[in-house]
Amino acid sequence: MKFILNLILIIIFISCAVNTPLENKSSVVDKPKKDQVNNVVEPIKEKEPEVKDIDKSELIDGYRVKIDAVETLDEAEAIKERVKGSIDVGLYIDFLVDRYYIYAGDCTSRDEAEILKSDIAKLGYKKLYVFPKKVRKLSKKSSKVMKEQYSVNIFKGENYSYAVRVRDIIEKRFPKDNYISEKDDHFFVFSGKFYSREEAELLREKIVNEFGLTSSKVVLFNEYKNFEVKNSSEKKESVFSNNYIKKGDNPVKVQVFVTSNSDKAENIKNRLKSKNYDCFINRSSGLNKVMVNIYDKGSLNSKLEILKNDFPDSFIVKNGESKKSRSFSKESKVKKRISSENMFYVQLGAFSSRASAKKVEKKANSLGYSNIVILDSSTLYKVLVGGYYTRKEAEEAREFFRSQSIDFENAWIVVK
Could you give the percent of the chain with pLDDT greater than 70? 69
- Pick the more confident residue, 216 or 240: 216
- Is pLDDT at 76 greater than 60 in this prediction? yes
| C-alpha–C-alpha distance, residues 363 and 380, integer Å | 19
Backbone phi, psi, residue 231, to 5°: -75, 150
Q: According to the model, what pLDDT value does residue 22 have?
A: 47
- Comparing 88-97, 242-251, 387-396, the range with the smallest average pLDDT is 242-251
Q: According to the model, what pLDDT value does residue 307 have?
A: 81
Q: What domains sit in the chain, N to C, each tagged with a CATH number?
A: 56-142 (3.30.70.1070), 150-231 (3.30.70.1070), 247-340 (3.30.70.1070), 344-415 (3.30.70.1070)
Q: Where in 239-396 does DSSP place strands (E)? A: 252-259, 278-284, 287-294, 315-317, 344-351, 372-376, 381-388
- Give the residue-averaged pLDDT of 327-336: 37
- Give residue-wise pLDDT tens across range 32-62: 555 555 555 555 555 555 544 455 557 888 8
Q: According to the model, what pLDDT value does residue 164 have?
A: 81
Q: According to the model, what pLDDT value does residue 242 have?
A: 32
By CB neighbour count within 10 A (0-12 exposed, 13-18 middle, 19+ buried), where does 357 fall? buried
- Is pLDDT at 257 greater than 50 in this prediction? yes
pLDDT tier for residue 193 given thresholds of 50, 70 and 90: confident
Question: Do 109 and 97 meet the contact criterion of CB atoms below 8 Å apart?
Answer: no
- Is pLDDT at 139 greater than 60 in this prediction? no
Backbone phi, psi, residue 16, to 5°: -65, -40
Of 196, 159, 195, residue with least CA distance to 308: 159
Considering the entire predicted model, what is its pTM?
0.28
- Give residue-wise pLDDT tens across range 347-370: 888 888 888 888 888 888 777 676
Q: According to the model, what pLDDT value does residue 223 have?
A: 56
| C-alpha–C-alpha distance, residues 196 and 220, integer Å | 10
| C-alpha–C-alpha distance, residues 275 and 390, integer Å | 20
